[in-house]
Structure 1
């Protein structure tokens, strides 16, 4: 006897994706816009969207598709999200550039989004690693009133000295506390190269920042965070050198960084076990939920 055929209705996605064409200084960029599906959310159309800046060298999909999934999750929660390939990355034209050189690309993306969707009044910049740094540099340099909020995940503040300090503090010193390390050292199973590496990191971590760093990009980031008037969501992974470097910078980075973690409007969320890119489904879902709640909880536009 044949089993009855069960008809399963297709699940309608809560988002729809479309390509947004962007031009920056005569060169074509590519944006992927995820929006709430028709009928999924109540009208009127949202007036706030998330512009997801991609850190490099990557493109709009992200590691383990994290940016695609984040954009679609936000759209399903009623928050449109635009993911951007800036010049020289992914499918965009132009020469490759780093996070300190994308101000014009960010502005062009907001311009194009508003032209295609006039109901969009303001954006939240979302960035992981050096994309978070790019967001802070943008608000510092441009003072763009359309930027209403920031979502910063594991911001990049690296210098050779800061990396050495973070490694000594959060990795090497932890190893020195482990009896297994000393057993291996005394038995000869830890090579001289590893010992020399530790001594080198200790010396490098004590180095002073060069005088030319008085207006280093990290100083500009601090200025941007301090002067920005909107709400900020700071997401930090516990198992990540970049996050540890950022926290160290906030504690020991001099007057520009003092008190920034306690600035009004900053909400800090720690994921103690998460890695740099929130690579598990649970970590990713946590970040998606934090971001959606942050954007939907922002005060209404004036």
Structure 2
């Protein structure tokens, strides 16, 4: 009888406390700590977007954490307050700064050799990572892995739909044949016109925050979350891995915001230290084994090459 194959990782619970509530942390570590990993003292904190918990759709976060651990990089996944098995009230992605800080604190208490953390997030979890580095300026955060960041507003979604769906339809002879034959009703034309009107809405304004800032009093950043994200990406001093799916409106909205989002977003895709990786056929959650494995390899290489010991 063959001996069971030894797994390259080990999983264990990591207790985390935040504002009197118990969070659930799942730490995946290399089965045998290598000298390189021990010297680097670097781990990946996987922030989970909503509405999800630490396992992720099609187990993507569990598999990513274990793949990283097998490659020598410890990875912590957590349920922040109100999600999964964590206590407390559910909160939106732009209000999880305390949960992220509590997870890093607990990880360092359990592993004092941990000196640097890479924040990894998909969708609004990527947005949460940028908001965290903007607001907290946490020196322990050494890198960012951002997959299909969320920058949605009603206007941005309408612009993306007009640009990547409706305009494509208008170029198709079949659409005009259906329109002229009556098989495409006036409701479809009205829907297009409504989307065009929505897409012309003004971008979020920073005027309110600027007015308060003139008083000199310390105030919370009240600007739209997308402007805070842009500031976080621009000011962050560490390397950034940006992973974008080709078959995903969220990724298209992000690219449109980088091109057309005004001064706050101008030039961010060419900022020093940003590495962009496009997966042309991938969907939002990298749902096939091949896409998932590609993301795992990109992340492990980023931690190894961009953040050497």
Question: One fold, TM greater than 0.5?
Answer: yes
**How far has the Cα of 1:210 moved from its partner?**
5.3
CA distance in 1, matches of 2:56, 2:207: 31
2:76 to 72, 82, 91: 82
CA distance in 2, matches of 1:211, 1:18: 45
Aligned partner of 2:233 in structure 1 is 225
Provide the secondary structure at the position in 1 that maps to 2:11. strand
Q: Residues 28 and 297 (structure 1 numbering): CA distance in 2 closer, same or farther, change over 3 Å? A: same
CA distance in 2, matches of 1:282, 1:25: 40
Q: What does 1:1-302 correspond to in 2, within 5 Å?
A: 7-38=1-32, 41-42=34-35, 45=38, 46-209=40-203, 211=205, 215-300=223-308
Provide the secondary structure at the position in 1 that maps to 2:306. coil
Q: Per-residue CA shift, 1:89-118, capped at 9, x if unaligned?
A: 000000010111000000000000000011
Aligned partner of 2:220 in structure 1 is none
CA distance in 1, matches of 2:251, 2:268: 15
CA distance in 1, matches of 2:30, 2:48: 21
Conserved? CA contact 2:43–2:114, under 8 Å: yes
Q: Residues 26 and 103 (structure 1 numbering): CA distance in 2 closer, same or farther, change over 3 Å? A: same
- Segments of 5+ residues of structure 1 without an aligned counterpart are 1-6
Conserved? CA contact 2:37–2:73, under 8 Å: no
Name whichever of 19-28 and 189-198 sits farther off: 189-198
CA distance in 1, matches of 2:73, 2:37: 12
Conserved? CA contact 2:204–2:224, under 8 Å: no
CA distance in 2, matches of 1:210, 1:291: 32
Q: Per-residue CA shift, 1:40-61, capped at 9, x if unaligned?
A: x446625100000000011011
**How far has the Cα of 1:190 moved from its partner?**
2.3
Q: Per-residue CA shift, 1:169-206, capped at 9, x if unaligned?
A: 11111111112222222232223332221111011111
- Segments of 5+ residues of structure 2 without an aligned counterpart are 209-222
Conserved? CA contact 2:247–2:284, under 8 Å: yes
Q: Residues 44 and 249 (structure 1 numbering): CA distance in 2 closer, same or farther, change over 3 Å? A: closer
Q: TM (normalized to structure 2)?
A: 0.92
CA distance in 2, matches of 1:29, 1:16: 20
Q: TM (normalized to structure 1)?
A: 0.94
CA distance in 2, matches of 1:281, 1:126: 19
| Aligned length in residues | 294
**How far has the Cα of 1:211 moved from its partner?**
4.2
CA distance in 2, matches of 1:150, 1:210: 25
Tell me how large the CA RMSD over aligned residues is.
1.5
Conserved? CA contact 2:258–2:267, under 8 Å: yes
Aligned partner of 1:3 in structure 2 is none
